Amino acid sequence: MAGTVARATRGRVALLTLDNPPVNALGAALRDDLAAALDAAIEDAAVGAIVIAAAGRTFPAGADIREFDAEARGIALPDLCDRIEAAPKPVIAALHGTALGGGLELALAAHVRIALASARLGFPEVKLGLLPGAGGTQRTPRLIGAEQALRLMISGQRIGAAEALAMGLIDGVVEEGLTEAAIALAADLAAEGKPPVPTRARRTGFRDPVLYARIIAAAREAPRNARLPAPDRIVDCVEAALLLPFDAGLTFERTAFADLLTSPAAKGLRHAFLAERLLRHTPEAGLAPRPVAQVGVVGGGPVGAGLLAALLGAGLRATLIEADRDALIAGLERIATLHEAEVAAGRLTPEARDADWERLAGSVDPARLAGAEAILDPGEAPQASLALADALAASLTPGAVLALGDPASPLWAAAASLGRAGDAIGLAVTEPSHVAPLVDLCPAPATAAETTATVAALLHRVGKTVLRSANGTFVLESLRAAGRRALRRAAEAGAAPEALEAALRDFGFALGARPFGALPATAVSDTSPSGERIAEGCLLALIAAGARLVAAGVALRPSDVDVAATLGLGFPRWRGGPMHMADERGLLQVRNALLALAAEDADLWSPAAIFDHLIKYGERFRDLDGGKSA
């Protein structure tokens, strides 16, 4: 074993196993170790073919994103890929898990690729504002042509092994025994003794150059967000694959990759990716959650019904409690409507829908919740909450947890009077959709850590992104309130609702002003602030609020504020989030801008003391993220 790559010999086959948990990201150590192991295998006269496989859950899921902002070390990934391709002995890549980005590019540099049937392949670089920069834009179209190459690279979507095989991206699929199959194939190739065909020499995808050029031209015309430069550069690179000799194409790709890497959009998207991963790093992350198989939901309003659909979709049993028969029927109908939409969209089979429905119960009697390991009350049905509070002793069985959306819910007091305050926690599911990913989880002072861990695990299970707030305040709600107040200020200064909407959309807010809630109608004047001023006021309000939340320990780290903004308020992901933007602008400049606005509304815009502290020590918000953020 040379660090992160284990080397074994099976007959005439050298098996190189990559081992860099959790996702075999292609960091400097792994690249260097693989290059060394490859060289050794090439030099070893007893070796006739080489297999590159991966230990653990996946073949490399890409370059190491955390290295993108650090000084370059070790052999560069494109150079490693070139070395694999130039190997005089056949190299076989054995793919399982998620072979993504640089991982897939590494595989494309090998001479043969086989995959486990469950493997997923893709180029997610575009979601990070990048393009496949290790030869992917040049090798992929040689194998599968312009249309499929562009589809994969511009959408960033993953495909299954069968589809990859059908389009010619890989050469074989096995149901099981991947490594053994790869070794057997390698042994055959070693016995044949033919020199391998490098992907750079393949021309299958160039069979029809006229069609290729037409596809490039059409891709150039496709409407796209002008603020995201990566797709256009991908089109350029795929065009270059046809027009330029391979090495010149690689140089072209490398230049485009380097340009994109330092672009503000890529920095923002990288930050957003890592910020979402950091969310799971909470004080209770190591605690074992209590098992939950049955859940009660109070209220079948839009949020409750959405939660129920998500819980059922994850295979849980669920009971809807409503205050009366009519409300119960309406709630069940909402769930049915959500289900039908999923079936119509092809995301749910009728059989799965029926199975979900069988695990659903509805009642107007809160005592029917006895036996549920978790009760979720988003706060949409105050009458039902009241009834549950009266019957809580019978409904909240020992060990069950209670998650409450309304800070003023009578259930808090009811839980405390039963000696169950430790089992109750605050929960904010603000977007009334079963697909809305973000849920804000806020332990009260008395909440037991195990309760937080249990509810977080339940929400993860149903596909939610969990934002862990602290100290009795919800991060997302506080940010929303700050943004709303800034918009109200702009309205009072004469901006019409349409101007507010346009300003936010121009800035990049995907949903405009909607996530900020209803704004009061105000008199529109001729002296309306400009769109830029409106957006700037809103951005600075979010930054100021975010800084206060961080200083008060409500947000566990600045990057959590950014996730709340991007996933909860539609803040443009490619801008990273308000705290990322503050860092990028420079905190001194941001503080001064805040001070200038604070004269208008000190509560909204005055900068918290944390700005002075960070500025004094030459730090930025990202320095408080725990060292992992971009």
Select from 333, 449, 322, 462 the least CA-distant residue to 378. Answer: 322
Residue 113 in tokens: 């690729």
Of the pair 25, 321, the CB lying nearest ligand CAA is at 25
Per-residue DSSP letter, 441: E
d(CA 395, CA 408) in angstroms, rounded, equals: 20
- The interface with ligand CAA within residues 257-286 (CB under 6 A) comprises 277, 280
Q: How far is the CB of 78 from ligand CAA (least distance, A)?
A: 8
Of the pair 237, 487, the CB lying nearest ligand CAA is at 237
Other CB atoms closer than 10 Å to residue 602's CB: what's the count?
10
List the one residue from 48, 101, 129, 379 that touches ligand CAA (CB under 6 A): 101
Amino acid at 89: K
x/- map, 46-85, ligand CAA, by CB under 6 A: ---------------xxxxxx----------x--------
Other CB atoms closer than 10 Å to residue 548's CB: what's the count?
20
- Is residue 309 within the footprint of ligand CAA (CB under 6 A)? no
Bridge-partner residues for 411, per DSSP? none
Helix (H, G, I), strand (E, B) or coil at 434: coil
- The interface with ligand CAA within residues 472-531 (CB under 6 A) comprises none
Q: Which stretch binds ligand CAA (CB under 6 A): 22-30, 44-52, 407-415, 526-534?
A: 22-30
Give Cα separations from 218 to 146, 213, 606 (angstroms). 11, 9, 50
Of the pair 535, 624, the CB lying nearest ligand CAA is at 624
Of the pair 253, 322, the CB lying nearest ligand CAA is at 253
Cis bond before residue 90 (omega within 30° of 0): no
Helix (H, G, I), strand (E, B) or coil at 395: helix
Is 43 known to be catalytic? no
Residues 6+ positions from 345 with CB-CB distance below 8 Å:
none
Start-to-end CA span in the chain (Å)? 31
d(CA 177, CA 160) in angstroms, rounded, equals: 18
x/- map, 108-147, ligand CAA, by CB under 6 A: ----------------xx--x-x-xxx-x-----------
d(CA 323, CA 331) in angstroms, rounded, equals: 11
Q: Which stretch binds ligand CAA (CB under 6 A): 94-102, 412-420, 453-461, 507-515?
A: 94-102
List the one residue from 102, 304, 379, 568 that touches ligand CAA (CB under 6 A): 102
Q: Which of 67, 71, 85, 105 is catalytic?
A: 105
Q: How far is the CB of 57 from ligand CAA (least distance, A)?
A: 7
Name the H helices within 402-442.
410-417
Q: How far is the CB of 235 from ligand CAA (least distance, A)?
A: 16
| Half-sphere exposure for 117 (CA within 13 Å, toward CB) | 4
Residue 14 in tokens: 């050298």
Per-residue DSSP letter, 2: B
d(CA 364, CA 328) in angstroms, rounded, equals: 7
| Half-sphere exposure for 92 (CA within 13 Å, toward CB) | 26
- Is residue 105 within the footprint of ligand CAA (CB under 6 A)? yes
Q: How far is the CB of 140 from ligand CAA (least distance, A)?
A: 11
Q: Are strands 13-18 and 5-10 parallel, antiparallel or unpaired?
A: antiparallel
Name the H helices within 244-292.
246-261, 264-278
Q: Which of 125, 253, 322, 342 is catalytic?
A: 125
Is 105 known to be catalytic? yes
Binding residues for ligand CAA (CB under 6 A): 22-23, 25, 61-66, 77, 98, 100-102, 105, 124-125, 128, 130, 132-134, 136, 277, 280
Which residues are tagged catalytic? 105, 125
